[in-house]
Amino acid sequence: MNLSLRLLRKFSVLFPCLFFGFTFSQTLIHHTTNWFGPNANPVPDFTDATIPENTQLSIYGDYYYGYGDNTETVYIKAEIPLISQKVSVKVWSPVAEHYEVTDEIKEKRMMLEGNSGFANGDVYIQTRISLAKELKYRPSVILNSTLKTASGSGFKNRRFFNTAGYYFDTEIGKSFRFSKIYFDEIRVVGNFGFYSWDVQTPNSNVQDDAPMYGLKLILKKNNFGWENTFSGYNGWINRGPDYGNRPSIFASKINYYNRKNTYFIQYQHGVNDFPYNQIRIGATLNFESLTPNFF
């Protein structure tokens, strides 16, 4: 009788633990911008639909704030033209971020390692090909092919996905130059493509597929440029009204162009399913000496 009571007591303690472990293992992790940090699966940037003549290195810092998640990020991006203005390879990453979230956000995301910390980001690798050079009546056309690796850390604290992805997109740009209005040049760029990333479920992995879109207006006067961009993507998976699979953003950016380099400051607002505001400050440096010359 005493042995039976002891076994019953041990089982009564063990059963909730087993049940909790099983339930947690079956929990669905929402791989969207509503449930992760701002660098996990952001709306992809796109350029002014040109490929540079020389190797470019961009270094910038981001500060995301509001909505219970404050994140500081150091970003590094390099673009190397294999054929000047025609073919290039681009690599970038949010190499390090520091974050601090509220108790509410921690509970919502089921974070396991505290409210604050550091994480390293995913690496993106992109090839860019010029399909058409801009002429008087023809826009430039750039085809991009991008791989998103699963190299980021901090999955247990919902900072970066533990799955990979890829996207293909096309940039189309046309400049209009004027001599009798305030701006020297007005450039319009459109972007459209297809984005796909892996989403884990308790029993298998599925792919979330999303059409991408974007529109950019660039106004230039002397050494200054003003970019305004609206872009986003629409994923097909929907697990409820707060799943957050259709992020869109608006960004306004001021560029200063000197003889070789570009310096910029940007404000970005999450319009839908991207619960962050962003301030970005950085520079793009040109390195003629690091540009390959195969021909």
Residue 1 lies in a domain: no
pTM of model > 0.85: yes
Q: What is the reported pLDDT for 2?
A: 54
Q: Region 283-290: what's the mean pLDDT?
A: 96
Higher pLDDT, 11 or 289: 289
Please determine, for residue 17, whether its predicted confidence score (pLDDT) is greater than 50: no
Residues 6+ apart with CB under 8 A from 53: 81, 84, 85, 291
Residue 228 lies in a domain: yes
Conformational region of residue 186, where left means phi above 0, alpha means psi within -120 to 50, and beta covers everything else: beta
Residue 23 lies in a domain: no
Q: What is the reported pLDDT for 236?
A: 94
Could you tell me the CATH number of the domain that includes residue 156?
Answer: 2.40.160.40
Q: Region 111-118: what's the mean pLDDT?
A: 95
Domain count of the fold of the chain: 1
Q: What is the reported pLDDT for 28?
A: 79
How do residues 215-268 score in pLDDT, each as one tens digit?
A: 999 999 999 999 999 999 999 999 888 999 999 999 999 999 998 899 999 999
Print burial letters for 232-261: b (CB count within 10 Å at least 16), e (below 16): bbbbebeeeeebbbbbbbebebebeeeeee
Please determine, for residue 186, whether its predicted confidence score (pLDDT) is greater than 90: yes
Residue 42 lies in a domain: yes
Residue 19 lies in a domain: no
The Cα–Cα gap between 272 and 58 comes to 27
Please determine, for residue 26, whether its predicted confidence score (pLDDT) is greater than 60: no
Please determine, for residue 214, whether its predicted confidence score (pLDDT) is greater than 70: yes
Q: What is the reported pLDDT for 128?
A: 98
Structural domain including 112 reads 30-290
Residue 20 lies in a domain: no
Q: Region 144-152: what's the mean pLDDT?
A: 97
Residue 47 lies in a domain: yes
Q: Is residue 11 very low, low, confident or very high in pLDDT (cuts 50, 70, 90)?
A: very low
How do residues 41-82 score in pLDDT, each as one tens digit?
A: 999 999 999 999 999 999 999 999 989 999 999 999 999 999
